[in-house]
Amino acid sequence: MSLIVDIKKRLGDFHLDVSLETDGGVSGLLGASGGGKSMTLMCVAGIVKPDRGKIILNGTTLFDSECRINLPPQKRRVGYLFQNYALFPNMNVRQNILCGLHNEKNKAKKEDSLREIIELMQLNGLERRSPSQLSGGQQQRVALARILVGNPDLLMLDEPFSALDSHLRGQLRIETQRLLKRFGKDALLITHDRNEAYQLCNKIGLIDAGKLLVYKDAKQLFADPENRQAAILTGCKNVILAKKSGEYLVDVPAWGIQFTTSQPVRNDLCAIGVRAHYFDPETIQNRFRVRFTDEIESPFEYNVQFRYENQLDASQDIWWLIPKEKRTGQLPSELGVTSNNIMLLYR
């Protein structure tokens, strides 16, 4: 099971340039709104035609600009869950799902498939309801049932939880994770929520301004995002300009300190990243004096801001995240960060 996407598309001032290859499982495209995530999915689905490149699904060419191949959407065997679910409002649940079986001419097989998918998606008793009579979670399950009943080779989900409240979103993430495992084929998930991407995806690609910045294993991506924009997109609050000052040493002028690293530093280093929860008052490595400037309490943690002793006045405060159970007594006068938690960022 594999999907190869190597495409370019220009729309006015916007340039899409995406190249990735999946190897099974769930791949995520993470990035801010307007970055090109949905455009990528629409190109794969055949809704939008790229200017150049190719799209190959499990060895079948869906699009190839040089060979002039451009299969229509109905022949691509791609299931696409739109952000608003795109249910037909004048049809009930049963009728909406049957739309996914329009190619099945055998009535008995059609009914068997319908019954199986209704059972799988826990829609029993809702068959005669219209979309307006369903909750957001039920609407999503109907939309997924309509896609899955046609047995697509690729499932694509475009911001599947964006229209739901936070409680329902968390519940449906778990349900969707189970569903994707049962699906057993390639899936592409679009999201701007990094926690969502981390939980559901084996690999994640970061898209910014139409460009795929990096595509790698989800855990590796968060541990080593490779460049500044990728670090920011994965939620790193502390990204600062830095330069190489030794094989395992970086200089951070704005903070007035040097950090020892666990990885060799390349000459093209431009910045480092330190996630807010990496700082530790008990760590000996990269330990320096600090002074605290502000504190914001959240339900389960404290977001503390601090500055190093020789930090430049014009530089921004640094973020330290403390779980509430670890906050005891007075804040420390020094903080350390282990060398393997210094993320090296390149151009």
Taking only the tens place, the pLDDT of each residue in 67-82 is 999 999 989 999 998 8
Predicted local confidence at residue 86, as pLDDT: 84
pLDDT of 163 above 70: no
Taking only the tens place, the pLDDT of each residue in 183-202 is 888 899 999 889 889 999 99
Average pLDDT for residues 313-337, to the nearest whole number?
93
Mean per-residue pLDDT of the chain: 92
Predicted local confidence at residue 68, as pLDDT: 96
Residue 188 contacts residue 157 (beta carbons within 8 Å): yes
Query: Which residues lie closer than 8 Å to 289 by C-beta, 6 or more apart?
Result: 308, 309, 333, 334
Residue 232 pairs with which residues in a beta bridge?
none
In the structure encoding, which two tokens stand for residue 104, read together?
A: 């099945």
> For the ranges 166-170, 231-235, 243-247, 297-301, which has the lowest average pLDDT?
166-170
* Reported pTM: 0.85
Give the integer Cα–Cα distance in Å for 146 and 148: 6
Average pLDDT for residues 311-338, to the nearest whole number?
94
Predicted local confidence at residue 339, as pLDDT: 98
More confident residue, 169 or 269: 269
pLDDT of 48 above 90: yes
Average pLDDT for residues 209-219, to the nearest whole number?
93
Residue 50 contacts residue 9 (beta carbons within 8 Å): yes
- DSSP label at residue 280: B
Highest mean pLDDT among 16-20, 142-146, 148-152, 328-332: 16-20
- 243-246/301-308 β-pairing: unpaired
The model's confidence at residue 160, banded by pLDDT at 50, 70 and 90, is confident
pLDDT of 162 above 80: no
Burial string for 57-91 (b: 16+ CB within 10 Å, else e) reads beeeebbbbeeeeebeeeebbbbbbbeebebeeee
Taking only the tens place, the pLDDT of each residue in 99-141 is 888 877 888 888 888 988 898 888 999 999 999 999 888 888 8
In the structure encoding, which two tokens stand for residue 44, read together?
A: 């794969």
